[in-house]
Each structure stands twice: as structure tokens, then as C-alpha cells.
Structure 1
Amino acid sequence: MNIQVSGILQGAVTPPPSKSQAHRLLICAALGSAQCRIMCSAVNKDIMATMKSLCAIGADINYSNGVFTINPMDLKKNRTLDCGESGSTMRFLVPVAAALGADATFVGSGKLPQRPMKDLCIALQEHGVQITRPADGLELPLQCSGTLTAGHYTLPGDISSQYITGLLFALPLLNADSTIEVTGNLTSASYIDMTIDALRIAGIKVGRHGSTFNIKGNQHYNMPAEVVIEGDWSSAAFWLVAGVVGKHPIRLRGMNIDTLQGDSAIIEHLSKMGAHIVVDEKYITAMPSQLHGVELNCMDTPDLLPILSVAAAAANGSTIFLNVGRLMYKESDRLEAMRSVLAAVGITSIVGDDTFTVLGGKRVVKTAIDSYGDHRIAMSAAILSTITDGEIAIIGADSVAKSYPTFFDEIIALGGNVKKL
């Protein structure tokens, strides 16, 4: 779907539930021994990929009227799990399926078959799992058989924190204790914190000493009868940037300022750029601001780079993003995608060695932008339209369904214009 976006945004918006938290709590509930209800007011393709994949291996999950109802799993073997385009679904559930001895096959679409799995697969193969992958360099379809064994696992921290999360879900199910040693820098560390918190809610204990995680075996998942998914900071970031680069304030409702979600750092990042953001008991309000270029470390917040690049385009001077190299392995090569997007509207940016530099402060011109099938690129392009004098056409705008299906409805509710081409 191609659309044209224009207009000035103002008003209040409620971001959708956190898909990162939803993935984690769905897995914990599916591994539990009693019914659990998860309040999740909206879903997206990624969340549903996790739900359907869990159901494929025997979970009993129903979603209706904003509530997931999860009953204890009756394990089914030799099933195919379609992960869609969700890296979280794939990397979380491959270790879980191996721990359960599910002998499952994983498939996916979009760029998912190209996203790295090698180091995780090696770690699983060293602990009793047989894994078959294509010979053409792709990661999917992936077949795993056998049952995971306890022991000492070593994984690099600079590829994906999702490897560690997958093992943290799986290892408590085994009949002996295990450790995970993370080598190098642990990127997106806040997502590990979210995983450990989800495990805590489910009654699973994880010890941590620096870069080593200690996981007792023979643990049992025991979720509360009801849990609520909090608002998604990755989605909120688009509206915060829209407010600070736009002409009118934008207010966010329903956000937990004390969250473990790493992307809540959007407030800190924007504040460094000179943004005026007001937090009170009811709203987080992004005020129109004069932004300036800064240096931002994206080690723990890689998903924020596309929308922060929009803020950088509106800022005076250069903004340098550090520790962003792994963004080439996302739904698109997000560094090249954003370089192309910004170039299309007349903004110069430079892809460096683990850096991305935006030379801001120039007038943004109206144009057509390719989303590269990436939800975050499409949404960033839409917010770019708020600092142009005309319309921006977005190619592949339906990609937003991956994380935020109602995104363009919100644009309209805030006063923007959206027209299908």
C-alpha cells in the first residue's frame, strides 16, 4: 500500500501496548500450569506471530476483546512455527522448543530468513540439539530436533540480546542448573532486564553477576491470574518527535515513566537535543522545540535511530549516532534505508563505521519515500511529513502493521491527512 501524508499534528494519543512485553509474558503464560489472562488492548503482526507459534506447539491461547486467555500447554511435536517477520518470535522460541523437545520447524518471511542466528544455533548444537538450516546462507527454514541439555553457554553480546532472552526462557525448564556467559559488549541490555522481570512475574529466578547469568533447573512457570501490558515506548517515540519538531504540542496518555523499556530513553535523547518535554501524572507532553545537533549513544536503543534521525534532520547542526552497526540486520538495513530517506528530502547523512551522522537544519522538500518494507522507516517517513511544506508519499506503508496497525489512523485523529495512492 502506498499513501500520501501531510498536515500539522496536534492533540493527544494513547500508544499501543508494548510488543516487547507482550512477547515475553505470552511465552511465560504458555509455559505455566494454570490459566492466565493478559490484558493487551491492541495487537500487531509480531505479537500474533508469537501467539500462533506458541499455539502450534500446543499452547491454548485465545485473543478476544483486548484480552489474551492462556491455558496450560499440551505439547505437540513436529509442528511448523511461522514467525512471520518477527525476530523476537524466532529467537525466543527456538530455544524454548528445544528445551521442550518439540522437534519443530521454523519458517518466516520478509527479511527474517536473513537475520543472524548462527551463534545461537551453535550454542544449542553444543547442548544436545540437532539443527538443520538451508545451505544458501539463509537461516530459515530451520529444523531443530532433540532436547536441550543444561550446562555452560557462551554467546556474544554484540549481535542480539534476543539470543540471551531465548535461553533465559528455556533453561529453567531443564533438569539441571545452567549458566550463560556473555562475551563482549551486551547490546540492548534493557531488553534483558525486561526478560528477567517477565520471568520474575512468572516465579522464575535468575541470578546475575556482571555478564554471567545463573539459572536454576527444575523451575516452574507460575503466572498471576491477570497481568496488564504497559504502553509501548518504541511507538510513543514517534509522537514525541512529532511534537518537538512540529508546530503544536502532542500529549501521550497511558505511559509508565518508570518502565524497564529501554526506548523510554527517547525522552533523554530528545532532551539532550534541546527538546522541551513535560511529564505530569496524566500526560507526557512534547512541546515544539528548537533542536540542536548532539552525539547520541544508541547501544541500548537501536530501534530509536530511524525516528531520532527525523529529529536530527530538523535540528541545527550535526547529530552523530554511535553504536548503530547492527541496524543493518533489522527488517531492513536501517542505516542505508534512513540515508536514502533523508537524501530523498534533501538532508545529507553519512553511514560510518558503527556510526550514523545527520547534517540537519536544512529545509525538507516534499517527495516520495521507499519504506523498504520496514515499519519503523514508514512511520519515521510519516513524521517527516510534518516538517515539509507539502506531502510525502510513502511506498509500502502497510508495513506498519508489524508493530502499529493503527498508526495512520492516529495521524488522522491528530489532524493529519492520509490519502491512499
Structure 2
Amino acid sequence: MPDLLVRAPQKAIEAAVRLPASKSESNRALVMQALAYTQKEPADITIQHLSNARDTQILKALLSQKQPVWDVQDAGTTMRFLTALAAVTNQSKIIQGTARMHERPIGVLVEALKQIGFQITYTNQMGFPPLQIQPIQPHQWSKLAEFVKLSAQVSSQFISALLMIAPLLPNGLTIALEGDLRSAAYVEMTIAQMQQAGVVVEKSKHNRQLYVAPQLYQPHSFVIEADWSAASYWFSMVALCPFPMRVLLEGLQSTSLQGDAVIQQLMQPWGVTSKHIPQGVLIQKEEAVVLSDLFFDFSNCPDLAQTVLVCVAASKANATVVGLESLRIKETDRIAALQTELAKFNATLQELDEHHWQLIGEHFATPQQATVSTYHDHRMAMAFAPLSFFCNLVIENKSVVEKSYPHFWSDLQASGFQVEELIAND
């Protein structure tokens, strides 16, 4: 796949960007739409502004297929949501993906589904895809369990998958969570979208238990908001631009279901301000700032970690960081990827213990031209793109952004960046 040479404009920037629709909201809406269609009294759920991200389009395509094998490729959310959906809709399916997908654990979700009474087996390594899902017999349906217990420290997508299928279970479902909930914002998003579609989710104090009674999804029209994760890269651009930069991020809402809207607060140390207007959010940097030692907790917004940490390093600042644990099981081991790529710019990300890291960016330096490897990870490409303000930047494998923000490079170009595809030498 071609690489890109990115050069940032050496002047003030004024831009308007139409962000992609939220991948997270879109994926949940598609699953609820499918579940509403298959429940005993089908309901019509429609979706406006569905994301064009590859992950979402893969999910949409698979939901429309009747083949015995679902290949989710590298779409982790799709793997987890479809595993639960195939079980509750009593389908016979093999669910598989890329080699990296088969390295990403899914055992906690599978064991919870088996605890309920569904028949799922690992076709290769215990606890990992591929999976074989077999339908259960009619007499077994009424005997499905109504209670599961699992660690709250696992992927929030496991919890969201269980929540969304719970209304279709004959006895409903109580999910007991052990420990503090990781990425709680994504579970809250799932609950909010379920409620929009007429499903009530009851929560105990501190969300230790979630209960969904047997009930029906109701007719609803989801309107998907623009993606705050995609917006984060523009916040980083504004923070690092050595010239005045103002960007209108179209389609963002002042009240959002997305936890990554917290990027507005995370970027305040750089003097980046957010003004909500009818068209979206207008961001700009009010004044130059001097950063002291920083602290960030990414427990509820792990997808923002790469963006913010690159920004810290490029600002020649240092930061203490927590909440990175889940980064090891993403599209790549994002902690290792960050350590390798930041080292190219004389910055280090050190693991202090299993929960704490320290980023040392005070010696940050750039060569005239630098090459960033992306490890098949869309967020590595976009998080490092702002370093084009400091050097000619080569991004390997430009196509990785299609996973979540397919028109990222064209948006950069429209904003005045030079983006040149490099032809590999034979």
C-alpha cells in the first residue's frame, strides 16, 4: 500500500472540515436495527448519517449476508457485537478475521454467552477467534440464564454486546460487574442509544449491576453525530501549529453520547478553545502556552491516547499517564508502537509499573524528514500527522485511515497541507 509524504503549510490556516459520522454510534445503531428486525414483534429502526468508516461498512455488509462464515477482517467491534448477535438470533456461524484479530482476546465475552446457555466453541486457540456458533434447541430457549458476572476491567464492547442482546432473552439479563468499569463512556453510549430505541436499562449504584428486562426495541430513527475521535486529530493540529489556525469541525454537537468529546478538556493545556455554534465546533488556539509536567488518565478515552501523547512529545513536555492497559490489545500493541515511533523523535514512553507510564518529551527533535510506521493502525497514522509541522513526514500505508476516517488525507489537502503519494522503487 502506498506511503504518503505530508508537508504542513508554513502559514496561518483557516479550514472547515466535514467529519465522518461516529463509528461507535453507527455500529451500535446497526446492531439494534438488526435485533429489532428479528425480535418476535419486528420494529423498524432507521439510521441517518451512517459512518462510511470501513469497520461500519463491514458490519453493515455482514448483517445483510446469509453465508455461514462472517469474516470481520480487522474490525474488533464487529467481531464482538456479531458474536453476541449470532448467538441470540440462533444462527449457525463461523466468525473469523485477520491474523491480528485472532490474537485479540474474546474469551470473557464467549464465556459469558456460554454461561447464559449459548453454544460457542473456539476453532483454534482457547479464548481467541475464530469462533463456531451453533443454534440451541427450542426447549433450551426458556432455560437461558438471566445472570452473568464478569470483570469490569475487560473491553467495554463485551458489556455493550451483552446489553444489546439482553432485551431478546426470555428472562432478560442482569450483568454483575466486578471492579471499576473501564471505558465507561462507551457503555453509557450503548445504554443511551438503547433507551432512544425504547429499551430500559436499570443501573445499580456505581453501575455494579446492569439489568435489562425482556422487552422489545421500538421504532426509532437514529441520527448519527459526527465523530469526536476524528475531531481529536484537528485539536492536535491546532495545538501544534506554529501559526494561527482556526478550524470549524462540522456536525459535532454540544451534548454528545461520545466519551471522546473530552478532547475539548484534554487540549486546554495547549490553549485550544472550543466554541459550539449551529454548524459544529470552532476550535482555535488563543495564545502560546508553556507546558509544565502534565497528567492524563485515558481509562475512559483510550482512543485519544496516541493523539495526546504525540502532542505532549512535540511540545517538549513531560507527562505521567494512566489508563493505557487496553492499548495492548487494539489493532496493534499501541504502547509498543508508540514507544518505537516516539523514539524516532527522541521522546520516550516508559512503563513505571503495570498501571503508570511516563512520557518524556523534553528532548524532542525532528530530522529534516522522518518516516512513521503505522502497524496497520489507523490511529497511529493520524496521531502522528501533526508532526508534519516540524519536518517532511512520511506516513507508511496511507490506506489505514479507511478504518475510521476515510477522507482524512483529502481533508488535510483541502486545509492547505501538501499530501503526495510516494511510488515504491522496484
TM-score (normalizing by structure 2): 0.88
**CA deviation map 1:280-301 (0-9, x unaligned):** 3243213164252410111101
1:324 and 2:324 correspond: yes
User: Which of 47, 52, 55 lines up with 1:38 in the alignment?
Assistant: 47
Give distance in 1, aligned partners of 2:146 and 2:127: 28
Partner SS for 2:124 = coil
Does structure 1 retain, via aligned residues, the 8 Å contact 2:124–2:130?
no
Partner SS for 2:181 = coil
Does structure 2 retain, via aligned residues, the 8 Å contact 1:10–1:249?
yes
**2:118 is matched with which residue?**
129
1:263 and 2:260 correspond: yes
Report the Cα offset of residue 360 of structure 1: 2.2
Give distance in 2, aligned partners of 1:120 and 1:211: 17
**2:246 is matched with which residue?**
250
**2:30 is matched with which residue?**
26
Amino acid at match of 1:196: I
- Pairs aligned (count): 396
Give distance in 1, aligned partners of 2:307 and 2:222: 30
User: Which of 89, 96, 103 lines up with 1:107 in the alignment?
Assistant: 96
CA RMSD of aligned residues (A): 1.8
**Worse overlay, 113-122 or 8-17:** 8-17
Amino acid at match of 2:348: T
Cα pair distance change 1:17/1:315, threshold 3 Å: same
**CA deviation map 1:102-146 (0-9, x unaligned):** 122111125211111111111112222222213345722211113
**CA deviation map 1:351-374 (0-9, x unaligned):** 342333222243333311110110
Does structure 1 retain, via aligned residues, the 8 Å contact 2:123–2:132?
no
Percent identity of paired positions between Structure 1 and Structure 2:
29
**1:213 is matched with which residue?**
210
| 1:238-317 matched pairs, under 5 angstroms | 238-246=233-241, 247-251=243-247, 252-271=249-268, 273-282=269-278, 283-287=281-285, 289-290=288-289, 292=291, 293-317=293-317
User: Which of 372, 376, 383 lines up with 2:375 in the alignment?
Assistant: 372
Cα pair distance change 1:341/1:250, threshold 3 Å: farther
**2:156 is matched with which residue?**
161
Amino acid at match of 2:223: V
**CA deviation map 1:299-331 (0-9, x unaligned):** 101000110012111334311221211211000
Report the Cα offset of residue 278 of structure 1: 3.1
Amino acid at match of 2:153: D
Q: Which consecutive residues of structure 2, in runs of 5 or more, have no partner in the other structure?
A: 37-41
Amino acid at match of 1:44: A
**Worse overlay, 299-308 or 29-38:** 29-38
Give distance in 2, aligned partners of 1:157 and 1:41: 29
1:195 and 2:190 correspond: yes
**2:180 is matched with which residue?**
185
Does structure 1 retain, via aligned residues, the 8 Å contact 2:150–2:175?
yes
Give distance in 2, aligned partners of 1:290 and 1:82: 48
Amino acid at match of 1:281: I
Amino acid at match of 2:277: E
Cα pair distance change 1:110/1:355, threshold 3 Å: farther
Cα pair distance change 1:211/1:289, threshold 3 Å: farther
Give distance in 2, aligned partners of 1:416 and 1:94: 41
**2:135 is matched with which residue?**
146
Give distance in 2, aligned partners of 1:275 and 1:250: 12
User: Which of 33, 50, 53 lines up with 2:59 in the alignment?
Assistant: 50
**CA deviation map 1:53-108 (0-9, x unaligned):** 21125xxxxxxxxxxxxxxxxxxxx7222212111111112112111111221111
Partner SS for 1:280 = strand
Give distance in 1, aligned partners of 2:351 and 2:217: 44
Partner SS for 2:217 = coil
Partner SS for 1:126 = helix
Does structure 2 retain, via aligned residues, the 8 Å contact 1:245–1:289?
no
Cα pair distance change 1:351/1:395, threshold 3 Å: farther
Give distance in 2, aligned partners of 1:35 and 1:83: 25
Give distance in 2, aligned partners of 1:291 and 1:4: 30
Partner SS for 2:277 = coil
Amino acid at match of 2:60: M
**CA deviation map 1:191-217 (0-9, x unaligned):** 011101111111111101031001102
**1:73 is matched with which residue?**
none
Report the Cα offset of residue 23 of structure 1: 0.4
Give distance in 1, aligned partners of 2:107 and 2:57: 25
| 1:55-66 matched pairs, under 5 angstroms | 55-57=64-66
